Amino acid sequence: MNKVTIRDINVDNKKVFLRCDFNVPLDEKLEITDKTRIIAVLPTIKYLLEHNAKLILCSHLGRPKGEVKKEFSLAPVAKELSAQLGKEVKLAKDIIGQDARALTSNMNIGDIVLLENVRFDIREEKNDEEFSKELASLAEIYVNDAFGTCHRAHASTEGMAKYLPSACGFLIEKELKALGDALDNPVKPFYAILGGKKVSDKIGVIESLLEKADKLLIGGAMAYTFYKAMGYEVGDSICELDKLDMAREIMQKAKDKGIQMLIPIDNKIGKEFKPDTESKIVKYNEIPEGWEGFDIGPETIKMYINELQGAKTIFWNGPLGLSEFEQFANGTNSIAKCLAELPNCTTIIGGGDSAAAVTKSGLADKMTHISTGGGASLEFVEGKKLPGIECIAEKN
């Protein structure tokens, strides 16, 4: 990466505007259920504090669409950050209003102010120029470390970088290194595992992996579009009937390039979309009417574990089944366990639901890298330019 990072700039006694991705999941009591994104940005925050900065933190949370809504307040994040850092993080009541201005105007070295949810202002997602300038007027330096939001060209992720000296933080640096190294120049053999809901969501990722991977292992609901394209019945499984040609093209391309593309040989199917629904195991060509494929079956799990042996790099996106329901999480959990145990293999996980599933499996710390980006990591893998990174100055 050739972008300016916080190591390259002088932040001593400066007001630093740090864009983070604190878009964390909350439960009904507004308690944070996964702190990964907060913990991931602590090295940057600590570095800036150690180098005598005055910190103004900014993030979105959820999609409040320009309205101030209590359930989207960053209050739980301010509380968690204060606990993690062992010092007070003051939450401004607004973004660039009276309270934010008052709290950020007379800061001392080491002070930390968190602005309220930047999406409470409709101009954030419009990348409004005036709003960008107003945000920039709060600080002297702009630092982006919101990797998960880098695929959005918004005022606080892209717009305001025009008006201040800019740099990126350690999380962005780490993500680009992990995703970039693994996928630009993967140590071979390089195998990719693709699951999740739709082929159409992942077409860019698939195209990119077809250029690099030695083997593609398919699972999740996406498998049923491939089944249908091959002429098998899928019952009530999620299936994109308008993407059958696309699925055939992908299979043909893999064949032409000599890439082994593996499709599940059996499935765990269920009657209804509910956790305790009746279920059974069937072969690839045996899904009856009225049943839905919700997970890869035990034979497929065995086959996939066998096929993954010897890999030196693995990229995984997309749960292999409806892993939110315990009885359909076996495929995802078994593959996570397999990756965790593979010797000398770089394992990279991208995608919001995939990261959540691996975290839930308890094996997150056994993976080389789990991206904090959902959409951002996929767009990066597709080879798209991310506006939140493009806007940061290049090193001389």
Instruction: Decide: is 374 part of the binding site for ligand 3PG (CB under 6 A).
Output: yes
Which one of ligand 3PG, Mg ion, ligand ADP, none interacts with residue 215, CB within 5 to 8 A by kind?
A: none
* Per-residue DSSP letter, 343: T
CA distance 209 to 185: 12
CA 120 from centroid of its chain's CA atoms: 22
Q: How many Å apart are CA 186 and CA 298, to the nearest integer?
A: 29
Minimum distance from residue 326 beta carbon to ligand ADP (Å): 12
Q: Could you tell me which of 330, 282, 339, 329 has the C-alpha nearest to residue 305? A: 339
CB-CB contact of 199 with 221 (8 Å):
no
* 3 state DSSP class of 66: coil
What does 148 bind: ligand 3PG, Mg ion, ligand ADP, none (CB cut-off 5 to 8 Å by kind)? Answer: ligand 3PG
258 has catalytic annotation:
no
Q: Give the interface size with Mg ion as a residue count (CB under 5 A).
A: 2
Per the residue annotation, which of 198, 271, 337, 360 is the catalytic one?
Answer: 198
Catalytic: 198? yes
379 part of the interface to Mg ion, by CB under 5 A = no
Instruction: Work out the number of other CB atoms within 10 angstroms of the CB of residue 150.
Output: 31
Where do we find the tokens 């860019």? 204
Residues that bind ligand ADP (CB under 6 A): 195-197, 201, 220-221, 238, 293-294, 317-319, 321-324, 351-354, 374
Query: Which residue blocks in the chain are alpha helix, DSSP H?
Result: 36-40, 42-50, 75-85, 98-105, 129-136, 170-184, 203-210, 222-229, 244-256, 298-308, 330-341, 352-361, 375-382, 387-390
Among 148, 270, 350, 387, binds ligand 3PG (CB under 6 A): 148
- Return the one option of ligand ADP, Mg ion, ligand 3PG, none that residue 140 interacts with (CB less than 5 to 8 A, by type): none
- Nearest by Cα to 132 from 107, 158, 106: 158
- 80/353 with CB nearer ligand ADP: 353
Residue 319 binding target from ligand ADP, Mg ion, ligand 3PG, none, CB below 5 to 8 Å by type: ligand ADP
Task: Examine the residue annotation and report whether 375 is marked as an active-site residue of this protein.
Answer: yes
Q: CA 60 to CA 226: how far, in whole Å?
A: 37
Q: CB of 249 within 8 A of CB of 255?
A: no
Asked if 375 interacts with ligand 3PG (CB under 6 A), we say yes
Annotation says 69 is catalytic: no
Binding to ligand 3PG (CB under 6 A) within 50-69 occurs at 63
Residue 236: CB minimum distance to ligand ADP, A: 10
Beta bridge partners of 262: 217
Rounded to the nearest whole angstrom, what is the least distance from the CB of residue 166 to ligand 3PG in the complex? 20
- Binding residue for ligand 3PG, selected from 23, 279, 300, 332, defined by CB under 6 A: 23
Residue of 352, 373, 387, 388 interacting with Mg ion (CB under 5 A): 352
Which are the catalytic amino acids? 37, 198, 352, 375
Which residues of this protein are in contact with ligand 3PG, per CB under 6 A?
21, 23, 63, 148-149, 152, 352, 374-375
Which residues of this protein are in contact with Mg ion, per CB under 5 A?
352-353
